């Protein structure tokens, strides 16, 4: 894999080393209005490269991951006469690395790029694997490219000030990686809680390191999502439906929570269709219930949820609903088409497992 | 190399075969206002895939290779619910394949793409090798990506209606490839003339086929221009300076003509600095003089020309002027820094060879 993964809490030092290895070219930091205010001043203290760097600010929030903000970055790169050797450091959550990464991928056909994720979700997801992009025409990630950054610097120092909900949101993606990896990795993840009794970032670090490597290994084998990488969609067909439906209902839920509940329901499907072990399913459902609570649905919600699943962009045939499921922990099967009846049965069992029924 | 190269004058048939091999997905043709009028109707007759395809029109001309037109293409792809499997057929010159290719590279992180060049210049240059992009902020090809199309269909049937000047413009890039390849390829090119006595497309086809493969082989070894691909800059440092200067002087010359004269002058530099054979230089200069005439410069123009060379984006150090030169035909040397005095001497000899002095 092209991308170097550095796990450290000495972020400033790691940046200076990397910039030195790349021959000390021009450096530009892309940050959003939040990270510019709270994180950038600290890094300016700790890193000569960041202190000397140019700075481009984008508006925070997924609603601003759009062509207007991308044009701002392109224009500023052009104004500072950035070259292919210039290093773009994306300092922020997924919005920053997606948009800043896409700018780096396309300015002069590709600049150097280092991701410094400041949220747990970005550390385990957006910052690694080279998916860059923006929303366009009302659709998420409609424009973008596969472009691996030179490096990602993964640390937990930025997480201590994150709201509990954001930590849990990121941890849901870690649980997904654990399910895709092996029983041992999953067991370690289920032993830890990011919120009970309190958030312990020191204990999180080794789990995070192993977890990022799970994703990196999958991406390494299939950068452009022609096969294996689809395994990373586990939990997301139903998760996205929960998320989309919650927006329709005007009481939005966080992405990671939707994924956690989507994972439970897709493990139910895996149990019904592929013999995924019931004991592990129950253990997983209990963990999610304890940490995330439950998304309260009734059978009246089923038709709208299934309609949302049918719109998933992963479906190749518009009438089919396509899943990544598990035969066992660490044994994904991609492109499983499931009938509406089976999905309804799984939603029934989800409600049962979450004590909603 | 990922890109399939098909040399045929049965273009419609070739498109249908390719589309069939790719599983007959949705097809969209991107063309400019010229090719839409003159070429598309013919292909609609000859190809079922083109007859059934959606169609996106962009404005013709390099001035329209911009973000506005790119947004048009993105929006229409979005409106027709194009997917990663959809095939974009770029039907036109370099503007169409650059812009349509960039749209294909970035819509949903990459669609399928077939280039059908309708000019000689596009056939030997833009359509092959995966450089896509648009102009931005007043600078040429400022945004783009390296994205190899699935195929290029190279034919001469569209060239018979091209103005003589456009044929010569494309042929200059062919001469460059001949210089980079070997004495035999070059000799064949110098034996043919695209205008004396008249344009003979049947005799051009075998030359064109060999020529496209020269470029394809170089690109294959170095897609992202980290080294060897820089050889393709031969003739372009001085050529671009001639071109830029002609625009400043309000009497613009065609790109290919500028390259032809740039090649002569850079062969002079190659002769002075690297011992490139004088006999070949003289033979080449005579050929260019006979077919392209001469760009009439005097020593008063030297300072402005050298200033233009200094602004070339290929220079890594802004004070240096960087060249690709030849030790002999087929023996390029990249990243040769040349002093202003040597450049002036070469311009003197260019004027002499072209009977201007």
What distances in angstroms separate CA B194 from CA A216, B214, B353, one per listed residue?
53, 19, 22
pLDDT of amino acid A319? 75
Q: Which helix (H) or strand (E) holds A216?
A: helix A201-221
Long-range Cβ contacts of B78-83 (<8 Å, 24+ apart): B78/A136, B78/A137, B78/A139, B78/A142, B78/B107, B79/A137, B80/B26, B80/B28, B80/B54, B82/B26, B82/B28, B82/B107, B82/B108, B82/B111, B83/A313, B83/A316, B83/B25, B83/B26, B83/B108, B83/B111
Mean predicted confidence (pLDDT) in A7-30? 97
Q: Is the minimum CB–CB distance between B146 and chain A shorter than 8 Å? A: yes
What distances in angstroms separate CA B191 from CA A60, A268, B183, B187, one per listed residue?
62, 74, 12, 6
Greater model confidence, A107 or A139: A107
Has this prediction a pTM greater than 0.90? yes
The closest alpha carbon to B27, from B74, B77, B86, belongs to B86
B114-163, pLDDT tens digit by residue? 999 999 999 999 999 999 999 999 888 999 999 999 999 999 999 998 99
CB A146 within 8 A of CB A102: no
Mean predicted confidence (pLDDT) in B164-178? 97
Mean predicted confidence (pLDDT) in B64-91? 96
pLDDT of amino acid A223? 82
Q: Do B142 and A224 touch (CB under 8 A)?
A: no
Q: Do A78 and B145 touch (CB under 8 A)?
A: no
ipTM score of complex: 0.91
Q: Is the minimum CB–CB distance between B226 and chain A shorter than 8 Å? A: no
* Interstrand relation of A27-32 and A87-92 (parallel, antiparallel or unpaired): parallel
* Helix, strand or coil, per DSSP, at residue B109: coil
Contacts of A145 in chain B (CB under 8 A): 105-106, 109-110, 145, 147
* Structure tokens that stand for A17 in this block: 């080393």
Q: Do B106 and A75 touch (CB under 8 A)?
A: no
Percentage of chain B surpassing pLDDT 70?
98
* Helix, strand or coil, per DSSP, at residue B350: helix
A207-237, pLDDT tens digit by residue? 999 999 999 999 988 888 778 889 999 999 9
Mean predicted confidence (pLDDT) in A288-296? 97
How far apart CA A200 and CA B152 sit, in angstroms, is: 56
Mean predicted confidence (pLDDT) in B46-57? 98
The stretches of A275-339 forming alpha helices (DSSP H) are 278-292, 302-310
Measured in angstroms, the CA of B105 and the nearest CA of chain A are apart by 7
Chain A residue with minimum CA distance to B67: A71
Question: Is residue B222 very low, low, confident or very high in pLDDT (cuts 50, 70, 90)?
Answer: confident
The residues with which B91 forms a beta bridge, in sequence order, are B31, B116
How far apart CA B86 and CA B26 sit, in angstroms, is: 5
CB A189 within 8 A of CB A178: yes
Measured in angstroms, the CA of A352 and the nearest CA of chain B are apart by 38
pLDDT of amino acid B310? 87
How far apart CA A131 and CA A94 sit, in angstroms, is: 10
Contacts of A134 in chain B (CB under 8 A): none
> Does B284 have pLDDT greater than 80?
yes
Q: Is the minimum CB–CB distance between A249 and chain B shorter than 8 Å? A: no
B-facing residues of A in 24-43 (CB < 8 A) are: none
pLDDT of amino acid B33? 94
pLDDT of amino acid A329? 98
Chain B residue with minimum CA distance to A109: B145
> Does A344 have pLDDT greater than 90?
yes
The closest alpha carbon to A76, from A114, A47, A109, A107, belongs to A107
């Amino acid at each position: 894999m092209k991308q170097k993964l550095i796990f450290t809490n000495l972020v400033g030092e790691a940046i200076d080393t990397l910039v030195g290895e790349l021959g000390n070219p021009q450096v530009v930091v892309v940050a959003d209005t939040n990270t510019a205010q709270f994180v950038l001043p600290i890094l300016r203290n700790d890193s000569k490269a960041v202190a000397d760097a140019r700075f481009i600010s984008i508006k925070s929030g997924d609603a601003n991951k759009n062509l207007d903000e991308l044009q701002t970055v392109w224009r500023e790169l052009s104004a500072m006469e950035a070259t292919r050797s210039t290093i773009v450091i994306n300092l922020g959550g997924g919005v920053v690395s997606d948009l800043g990464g896409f700018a780096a991928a396309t300015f002069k056909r590709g600049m150097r790029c280092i991701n410094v994720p400041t949220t747990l979700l970005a550390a385990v997801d957006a910052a690694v694997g080279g998916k860059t992009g923006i929303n366009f025409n009302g659709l998420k990630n409609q424009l973008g490219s596969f472009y691996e950054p030179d490096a990602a610097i993964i640390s937990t120092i930025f997480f201590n000030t994150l709201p509990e909900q954001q930590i849990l949101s990121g941890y849901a993606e870690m649980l997904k990686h654990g399910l895709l990896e092996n029983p041992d990795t999953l067991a370690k993840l289920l032993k830890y809680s990011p919120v009970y009794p309190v958030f312990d970032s020191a204990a999180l670090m080794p789990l995070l390191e192993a977890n990022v490597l799970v994703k990196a290994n999958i991406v390494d084998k299939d950068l452009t999502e022609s096969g294996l990488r689809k395994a990373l969609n586990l939990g997301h067909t139903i998760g996205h439906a929960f998320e989309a439906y919650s927006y329709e209902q005007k009481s939005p839920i966080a992405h990671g929570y939707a994924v956690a509940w989507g994972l439970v329901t897709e493990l139910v499907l895996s149990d019904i269709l592929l013999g995924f072990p019931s004991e592990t399913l129950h253990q997983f459902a209990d963990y999610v219930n304890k940490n995330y609570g439950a998304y309260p649905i009734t059978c009246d919600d089923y038709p709208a949820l299934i309609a949302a699943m049918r719109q998933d962009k992963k479906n190749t045939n518009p009438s089919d609903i396509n899943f990544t499921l598990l035969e066992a922990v660490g044994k994904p099967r991609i492109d499983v088409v499931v009938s509406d009846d089976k999905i309804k049965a799984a939603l029934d069992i989800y409600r049962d497992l979450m004590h909603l029924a």
